Structure 1
Amino acid sequence: MKNINTALFISFIILFGQQVLAQKEKPDYRKLHYLSEEEMHMEFDASRDFYVTDPPDGAVRNVAEFEQMQSVVVSYPLGIPVSLVREMAEDCRVLTLVANSSQQQTAFNYYQNNSVNTDNCDFLIAPTDSWWTRDYGPWFVFDGNNQPGIVNFPYNRPRPNDNDVPIEIAEYLDIDLYGMNLETAGGNYMCDGRGKAASTDLIWEENSQYSHTEIAGLVEDYLGIENYFVTLDPLDDYIKHIDCWGKFLSPGKVLIGQVSESDYRYQDYENAASYFANRTSSYGVPYEVYRVFTPGQSQNTPYTNSLILNKKVLVPITGSQWDDEALQAYEIAMPGYEVVGIYSNQWYNTDALHCRTKGIADIGMLYFKH
């Protein structure tokens, strides 16, 4: 009996010690889309290398997601399934951010072993803190002389390596870099390539030092946005990013999530849809508003968090009963595009495919406005 009691006591001590150590382990910040507890207590300084510049010269044009892309940026270790890299690399270049040459070789081998077209894979040694390239990645513009550039901004997370990625990519592409002193994240911004853009009111909350008019002035000066739609957030979750419930599909089309009438957020989603239906698109007529059922809450249905990559639409699917309906919604809204479902059990209602990828505009594109 004494031996049994001693063994039980030792087991208890070991288990207790493991729990204490587990509590002291730092969380994996690469997997925290929200601010970690430690980050909440850090002095916020997202300006390690950020600096304000004059805006681009002349009439500025901000490139939309649905325009031609020459590449797409992801971070390694991947926050996306390798099947997505394989799909993107079929007919577009993929730029992978890596910490060093050793990690570059590891990533290359991983791609090669998973049948990725490595002829379309490039690598940039630029350490990152997380895999949300959408949120901290570069915003592309053309100035009044049709010269390409990148607009940088203070990223709204205290992750200095992430915050420097637009600088690294501007140097990599050898194009101009502009600094717009507006704290934000790419997941809370979408534009139509013709002077209209949208965000949730998080943009106001995070930049309370400015008036709403001053914020509108900044995006006009640096991005050429003449109509900046700022909306309430129907998702009602921590992130408040517009790409979690809405998406410009073209200059005249917008996709908005939808929930059941019994959902307490139902009216908020309907109000968001009505908001765009009552706005004039760049085509001079009201937006065509398409809907996709995203019940969310206890199930992950992040269908608006897709990536338009040239003539493909890459849609996150989760094995939900609503996956097929979501793919069909895109096929109806975007005829002529190849709609591809990308499965992962790591897609969430606040963080999916769009959040973890960022297109690089075709900086040699010819643009015709008609």
Structure 2
Amino acid sequence: MRRNLPLRFEFIPYPIWRRKMPKVINTLTKPIIQRFYPLAYDETPPPDPASMADVLVRYRLLPDMTLTEIHQALLESQAQIENAYSDVTPDFLSTPEAPARIPAQWETMESIIVTWPTIYPPLWDLHSEMVEAIAPVAEAVIIVPGELWAHAAWVYLMQRGNLGTYQNRVKFLVLPIDDIWVRDYGPIVCLDDAGHQIAFSAVYDHLPKYPQTRDNAMPWHWAAYMGMPIFSLNLHTEGGNLLSDGTGTLIMSEQIFRANPKYNRQTLEDYLHTVFQYDKLIITPKLALEHTGHVDLLAKLANANTVLVSAPTSASTAAQLRANITLFNRETNAIGEHYTVFELPTPPLYFNWGAYAIRRSYTNSLIVNGRVLVPIYSLKEDDTALRIYEEAMPDYEIIPIDCTSGINGGGAVHCMTKEVPAKAN
């Protein structure tokens, strides 16, 4: 178990070398950063298996294998890889003929998308855990920026040895991306009136000091590869700030108005009605000292009338969390049902390197085909959170995922995954 220290000095899963900063600072910090991140291959993957083997050895990703063994394993890799990049030009003015339904996460999912943390070696275990938990119940689609990264990830997964007979449920797509937060920039896949899949892409620009062009284009390339119609969602927002119960209720935090100041409550609802089928929009508070403002850090729908929320046990954000609990105790869903509210523990905030405020949330989980992947943080609160999930969702298999390293980027399981709902029968 970890101590809840208010100040930490831990790995940062952000491409901090890409951040806009004075040139002199960039020059001074680069040699230090290179010790922990494979900067040489940030933009261009290693050119051959021998170079990739060197990377895996240098960052101790496969400590039980020799350089020669890793090289040979890369050459013999049986990873399923497809190139999903295309010359598609995003049409930011496109709109659907009719509003589409956002399925709830507990509906049948065809696949789950994750982006492999190629440049974040400490996160390879976390992403492996997620893939291993997804593959038995859905296809795990792993985005990588180059084919050799796919082979490296495959060798890593094979060395862990936990996929068993589900190896064929893991597929790699080569796509240019900037970072791992696929929940936020990935496609919002919906179903039209005929039950066919269509996708939406919002404007992804919430980290202005970092490059985001490739992430912003990712849904368009993915949809072209899938042969799926895709339309523009004319909102500056991210997937982490949109929850749906599939039967008419949408939930967002008040961050939506900060990111889109031209909208008020009425004009936002009017616009959303043109793209999504819904009857009621619930707006939650935004957490203090938390830069994303996403609703998935303070609420999780277990079903249409059950919600898990973060309890007001962290002093720095207690007021917002109390207001959130009051909101769900008072509100009903779109069909008039009151919510059953379960309170999850909220570990105290800490600062990583004195600059990054880190909030650990147990609501940042993923539901997929009878399983719930719940983030844990090597804390005593983990057991309490898992027990509450078991109580709130007794028909599901609750699977803990260690997000101790990943949370230093500001997100956990939900932030690093994106579901693709199955077509209606």
TM normalised by structure 1 equals 0.82
Change over 3 Å in CA distance of 1:174–1:218 after alignment to 2? same
Shift of 1:104: 2.2
The equivalent position to 2:104 in structure 1, one of 39, 55, 64, is 64
Alignment of 1:43-54 (within 5 A): 49-54=90-95
| 2:407 is the alignment partner of 1:348 | yes
Give the SS at the match of 1:182.
Answer: strand
Structure 1 residue 196: Cα displacement = 1.1
The reply on whether 1:166 has 2:219 as its aligned counterpart is yes
Structure 2 residue 185 is the aligned partner of structure 1 residue 136: yes
Does structure 1 residue 125 correspond to structure 2 residue 170?
A: no
Question: Residue 345 of structure 2: which of 285, 289, 293 is its match?
Answer: 293
Answer yes or no: is 1:55 the counterpart of 2:96.
yes
* 1:329 paired residue number: 388
User: In the aligned structure 2, how far is the partner of 1:62 from the partner of 1:344?
Assistant: 27
Aligned partner of 1:206 in structure 2 is: 259
Alignment partners' CA distance in 2, 1:163 and 1:224 = 24
- Please list, as runs of the form range in 1=range in 2, the aligned pairs for 1:68-87 lying within 5 A after superposition: 68-77=108-117, 79=123, 80-87=126-133
- Larger mean CA deviation between 304-313 and 339-348 belongs to 339-348
Q: Which one-letter code corresponds to 2:411 in the other structure?
A: D
Give the share of equivalent positions with the same residue, in percent: 27
**What SS does structure 2 have at the residue aligned with 1:62?**
coil
Superposition misfits of 4+ residues, deviation over 3 angstroms: 18-22, 24-28, 78-81, 298-301
Letter in 2 for 1:357: T
Give the aligned partner of residue 269 of structure 2. Answer: 216
Distance change (3 Å), C-alpha of 1:20 and 1:220: closer
Question: Does structure 1 conserve the Cα–Cα contact (< 8 Å) formed by 2:311 and 2:322?
Answer: yes
Q: CA deviation at 1:203?
A: 0.7
Q: Matched residue of 2:234: which SS?
A: coil
Structure 2 CA distance for partners of 1:160 and 1:226, relative to 1, 3 Å: same
SS at match of 1:49: coil
State the Cα distance separating 1:110 from its structure 2 match: 2.2
Secondary structure, in 3 states, of the residue corresponding to 2:378? coil
Cα distance in 2 for partners of 1:215, 1:151 equals: 17
Q: Is the 8 A contact 2:116 2:127 kept in 1?
A: no
Shift of residue 277, structure 1, vs aligned partner: 1.7
What is the identity, as a one-letter code, of the residue corresponding to 1:76? W
> How far apart are residue 255 of structure 1 and its match?
1.0
- Unmatched segments (≥5 aa) in structure 2: 1-23, 38-88, 351-357
Say if 2:143 is the partner of 1:102: no
Structure showing greater radius of gyration is 1
Q: Does the alignment pair 1:23 with 2:29?
A: yes
* 3-state SS, counterpart of residue 265 of structure 1: helix
1:90 partner amino acid: P
One-letter amino acid matched to 2:252: S
Q: CA shift at 1:128, angstroms?
A: 0.8
With CA pairs under 8 Å and 6+ residues apart, which has the higher RCO, 1 or 2? 2
Q: Distance in 2 between matches of 1:147 and 1:322?
A: 41
Checking the alignment, whether the CA contact within 8 Å between 2:91 and 2:231 is kept in structure 1 is: no
Are the aligned partners of 1:56 and 1:178 in contact in 2 as well (CA < 8 Å)? no
Q: Secondary structure at the match of 2:278?
A: coil
Q: Deviations over 1:273-306 (max 9, x none)?
A: 1112211124422111111011331386421111
- Tell me which amino acid in the other structure corresponds to 2:167: T
Per the TM alignment, residue 269 of structure 1 is displaced from its structure 2 partner at its CA by 1.3
Name the SS of the counterpart of 2:203 in structure 1: coil
Aligned letter for 2:222? Answer: I
Paired AA for residue 277 in structure 1: N
Question: How far does residue 112 in structure 1 lie from its aligned partner after superposition?
Answer: 2.1
- What value does the CA root-mean-square deviation take over the aligned residues? 2.5
Aligned mates of 1:20, 1:304 — CA distance in 2: 36
